[in-house]
Amino acid sequence: MTADPGSSARAERRRNRRRQTSLLATVNYARVLLPCFVVDVSRGGARIKLLEAGALPRGPAVLECARLGTLAAELVWQKGLFAGLQFAETLPLPETARQGAAEAPAGAD
């Protein structure tokens, strides 16, 4: 039986605490730019929501976000508009990423 992505069994496997946010960002796949929102972020990765439906390619990508910077990442999973990215390096979360939850527009997640 496969664990539901929102189940507590899956949450227990996480190494880093996630912080909810709603930061405008872009996923860059070799000159293909896809706008998205960073829905939540941890030191090891981020969950994003694409603005348009479409499958993300496997392989290296770059997440570009004014508050988080430019981060090398790789697609780990995708379900509809949502996707999980794993960062190539551990991210030291800046104070501004923690404050992003206060800026979440209605319907962003």
CA 102, CA 6: separation in Å to the nearest integer? 22
Task: Say which CATH class 17-103 falls into.
Answer: mainly beta
Q: Are 43 and 37 in contact (CB under 8 A)?
A: no
Tens place of pLDDT per residue across the chain (109 aa): 444 455 444 554 556 678 899 999 999 988 889 999 999 999 999 999 999 998 898 889 999 999 999 999 999 999 999 999 999 998 776 554 444 444 444 444 4
Q: Which residues pair with 33 in a beta bridge?
A: 28
Indicate the domain borders of the chain.
17-103
Structure token digits, residue 68: 């988080």
Say if pTM beats, i.e. exceeds, 0.75.
Answer: no
